Amino acid sequence: MVRRQTIQMEVEKRAVLRLALIVATALLAITLFLSGILYRRSSVAESVKRLAESKAATAEAKYQQTSRELAEKTAILDRQSSIQQNQSVIINKTIPRLISKTAGDTELTELAHAVYLQPGHSTPLPSVPPDNAMRKFRFRVGSRLNTYQLIAGEIDGRWMLYSYLVRSQLGK
């Protein structure tokens, strides 16, 4: 009987050990499966992070380029605005003197250049201009010598002053 009890205790120990081994194996398999899932998720998260960083770097580069282009365009617009303002001052100052026949050749030359730079190369006149002002004028722009022809015309009952670039040559 003692022997039987001893054998039965050994069988029970083996059964408990077998059960513990099965549970340990199952836990190991579950742990490996979960580790694989976590590794995959972290790998995907890392690739998403790298993709986001590369997109951010690309966006930053585009932003820098756009900012540079905007600054260049703003500078061009500012320069054009100041040129336009100077032209308007010359035109508004010289046209009354042109109509009253008191404008000198230098003023008329500047007027011809300023009118040529206007949209449509024209500007309105308050009345009929004198005939002696409708001639050719030479104006130096940098190293170029431009020759402008002033022409007045009436369109739809309104007098307009046109300036045409007749000749542009490299100065000496």
What integer is the mean pLDDT of 132-159?
Answer: 86
Q: How many domains does the chain have?
A: 1
12 found inside a domain? no
Higher pLDDT, 126 or 132: 126
Range of the domain at 163: 42-170
35 found inside a domain? no
2 found inside a domain? no
14 found inside a domain? no
Higher pLDDT, 63 or 156: 63
Q: What pLDDT score was predicted for residue 64?
A: 96
31 found inside a domain? no
Pairing relationship of beta strands 122-124 and 158-170 according to DSSP bridges? antiparallel
pLDDT tens, residue by residue, 2-45: 788 888 888 899 999 999 999 999 999 999 999 999 999 999 99
Model-level pTM? 0.57
Q: What pLDDT score was predicted for residue 171?
A: 62
Pairing relationship of beta strands 136-141 and 158-170 according to DSSP bridges? unpaired
139 pLDDT tier (thresholds 50, 70, 90): confident
pLDDT tens, residue by residue, 96-112: 888 888 888 888 888 88
Q: What pLDDT score was predicted for residue 73?
A: 97
Alpha-carbon dihedral 122, 123, 126, 128, rounded to 10 degrees: -20
86 found inside a domain? yes
19 found inside a domain? no
Q: Which contiguous run of DSSP H or E holds residue 27?
A: helix 2-99
pLDDT tens, residue by residue, 35-64: 999 999 999 999 999 999 999 999 999 999
Q: What pLDDT score was predicted for residue 83?
A: 85
Q: What angle do CA 128, 132, 135 make, to 5 degrees?
A: 105
pLDDT at residue 78 tops 70: yes
Q: Which contiguous run of DSSP H or E holds residue 24?
A: helix 2-99
